Structure 1
Amino acid sequence: MTRIRQKNQQLIIEVASEQFALQGYAATKMVDIAKAADIAKANVFYYFSSKDKLYYAVLQTVTQPLLEASRPIEELTDPVEALSQYIQAKLRISQEHPYASKVFANEVMSGAKVLPEDIAQELFKQSQMIIDKFATWSQQGLMDDVPPHHLMFSIWAATQTYADFGWQICNVMQKDQLDDNDYRQAAEFLTQLIIKGCGVKSNGH
C-alpha cells in the first residue's frame, strides 16, 4: 500500500469514526463523511466500496487493539504484571481511539446488530480466555475467590468509560481533554484497586 493511499484511508476512517460515534450507523451517510474529511465522495467509495465496509474498518480500529490488549493475561504467568499491563493497554485504547470506542459501545448497546460475526466470535473467545485465566489464578491461590465474569466486566467498565463517557469525565475534571498524566493516574489507581481488592498475588516468576 502506498503512503498516500494509507494516509487517505486513515483520514477517512478517523473522520468516519467521529461521524458514526456522534450520529450512529443508520444516520451517517457516506456523503457526510466525505464532506467532513474534505474528500470527494467518489474517493471515499474508491477506498471503501460501501458504508458497511467502512463501518467494519472503523470497528477494526478498536476491536483489534482490544483483542491484542489481553495478550498479557494470556501469556504472562505473574497475575500482578498481567493485570497491570492489561489495564494500561485498555486505557491506552480509550485514549488513542475515543471515537471508535464510542462506535463499538453504541453497537453493543444497540444489540450488536451490525457487528460482523467474525469480530463477535473473536471477542467471545477472548472473554472466555480471560475468565478461564482468572479462575485458574483463584484456584492457584494467586487471587481471592472472586467471580471471574464480574471482575472482567468491572475492568471493562472502568477502562472504557474514559472514552465512552469522555465528555462527562472532562466536564467533572474541568478539562477540554484528558492528558497523559490523567491516564497514568487512572492506570495506577485502577491497578491498585483491582490487585488489593481481589487479593492478587505475584507468583515470584
Structure 2
Amino acid sequence: MRPTIQAVAFDVGETLIRDDRMWEGWANWLGVPRHTLSALVGAVVAQGRDNADALRLARPGLDIAAEAAAREAAGCGEQLDDSDLYADVRPALSTLQAAGLRVIIAGNQSARAGELLRALDLPADVIVTSGEWGVAKPEPAFYQRVIDVAGCAPDRIVYVGDHPVNDVFPARAAGLRTAHLRRGPWGHLWADDADVVEAADWRADTLADLVRIVTT
C-alpha cells in the first residue's frame, strides 16, 4: 500500500497560470507578430527545447535577462492577476487545503513573479519561485527545496506539472510522486508519450481530476 499523500506541489506556468499574457508581452516588446511568436513557441516545444528558445529565434542573439530587465524598467514587465489563473485553480487549492494537505506553489519563475503570485492571495501554504531560491528545475536541488518546505517524506508529496523534462521526470527522480497535467503546449503534446505515461503516477486533464485522485 502506497503512503498517504500529505502535500501537493504545483508548477506555475500552464499549470496554474495561462502564459498568454507573457507571450503577448514579449511579442509586443520585440515587435514580432503574436502569431509568429506563438508558432515559434509551438516549434520549440515540438522539438523538446526550452520555451525561451522561441525568443532567441525571433531575435537572434537576444540576452533574455537583460531584455527582461529593460522591460521592467520601461513599465512593460511581468503582470499577473486573477484573469491569468485557470478557472479550476482556486477551487482545487481550497479543496486540498480543506482536506488537510499542505499546498505548495513552486515553479521556474522570477522573484518578481513570486511577489505577484503571493499578491493573488491564493489558498496555498507556500508560494516560491526558482528566482527566489536561486535554483531552477530540473536541477535536483530545486526538488530538495520542495521536499524541505513540504516537511514530509518525498513519497508523500505529489508534484503537479505539464512539462515532462522540468516536472515529471526530475520530480520522480527525486523520489516524489508525480501528476502530469494535460494543459498548455507541453501538456497536450507529451500527454501520451510512453516515457511520460510510465513516469507519471497519475495523469489529469484538470485540477478537479487531480483533487479527486489525491483525496480518495
TM-score of the two chains, using structure 1 as the length reference = 0.32
TM-score of the two chains, using structure 2 as the length reference = 0.31
Report the structure, 1 or 2, having the larger strand content.
Answer: 2
Report the structure, 1 or 2, having the larger helix content.
Answer: 1
